[in-house]
Amino acid sequence: MNPGVLYAGLAYTAWGLLPIFFKQLGHVNAFEVVMHRMVWSLLFLMCVLVVLRRWTWLRQVARQPKVLAAFGVSALLLSANWSVYIWAVQNAHVVDASLGYFILPLVNVSFGFVFLHERPRRAQWLAVAVAACGVIWLTVQTGRLPWIALVLASTFGIYGLMRKVAVLGALEGLTLETLLLAPFALGLLVWWAWHGQGALVQSDAVTLGWLLLAGPLTAVPLLLFAAGARRIPMATLGILQYISPSLQMLIGVWLYGEAFDATRALGFYLIWLALLVYSLEGFMQSRRKTPAGVVA
């Protein structure tokens, strides 16, 4: 097996299993969980940077206010995405959250057209249109927009758009984002603890252990993903990304008993059809670009 496939597959599998982790913290406010995730992720990432001796970028970035401002915005988008996702998991909306990551590739196509002036191919537009029909069906069927999925897809789509044009890699970028928000997060945690509130003073050792684990569980999949993305074609990476929402949906339905009746399933079927069209078109396009005799 190509090691890139293994690394990326492990990353997406880890992300797909995250609902099980956050369910263990269901008694902790979702926003507080995000604050802990920021602090402990930064601590873990700093340890990784010490081991790798990758510090020079931090001194350079500190002298560039525009870069700091851009990563400040991306950090806020990331924290909003984390907050909604954790709240959804804690409140029995794992299937709704999975929908957000199913439609994310198609949201990326739309954002690329609007913000980067990219020209999606006909099959990509077809996939977006079919997915839109799925979202409309879910809206009509439930009487409301699938807001959890749309918020997750849009916040992470904009976040990905910003990171696409950013000057830092995955490890350095996440480190800077958590570094910018960690003082605020740490200040809130200390404030709550000072007033006898929050998990730091009210929870048992097991809960504190789960919160500490949020650091490596945030950073390790990111490192695996970065290692995998460097070794395999984007078409392969695009197919592997469906491991994560598929696992999330299965966990929501089979493990936590969330509703998934036939009428709701029709909306998902349309979105899966759109993803099939999108993936096949991307795969065929990548094969056309691969010179004869070269294995991608």
How many helices (H) and strands (E) in the chain? 14, 0
CA distances for 25 relative to 93, 202, 252, angstroms: 15, 13, 16
Count CB atoms within 10 A of the CB of residue 192. 18
Q: Return the sign of the alpha-carbon dihedral for residues 227, 232, 238, 243.
A: negative
**Residue 296 is assigned to a structural domain of this protein:** no
CA distances for 188 relative to 39, 46, 102, 214, angstroms: 11, 21, 33, 17
**Residue 160 is assigned to a structural domain of this protein:** yes
| Domain limits for position 49 | 3-286
- CA 208/CA 221 separation, integer angstroms: 21
- Into how many domains does the chain fold? 1
| pLDDT in the model for residue 1 | 53
Q: Decide: 171 and 226 in contact? Cβ < 8 Å.
A: yes
Q: Decide: 12 and 104 in contact? Cβ < 8 Å.
A: no
Let me know how long the chain is.
296
Q: Decide: 217 and 18 in contact? Cβ < 8 Å.
A: yes
Record the tokens describing residue 230, joined without a space: 């460097």
| pLDDT tens for the chain, residues 1 to 296 | 578 889 888 999 999 999 999 999 999 999 999 999 999 999 999 998 988 888 888 888 888 999 999 999 999 999 999 999 999 999 999 999 999 998 888 888 888 788 877 787 888 888 888 888 988 888 888 778 899 999 999 998 898 888 877 788 888 889 999 999 999 999 999 999 999 898 888 889 999 999 999 999 998 998 888 788 777 776 677 778 888 999 999 999 999 999 888 888 888 899 889 888 887 877 777 677 655 443 33
- CA 279/CA 131 separation, integer angstroms: 13
CA distances for 22 relative to 25, 217, 218, 291, angstroms: 5, 11, 12, 45
**Residue 291 is assigned to a structural domain of this protein:** no
**Residue 173 is assigned to a structural domain of this protein:** yes
**Residue 218 is assigned to a structural domain of this protein:** yes
Record the tokens describing residue 8, joined without a space: 């990326």
**Residue 246 is assigned to a structural domain of this protein:** yes
**Residue 278 is assigned to a structural domain of this protein:** yes
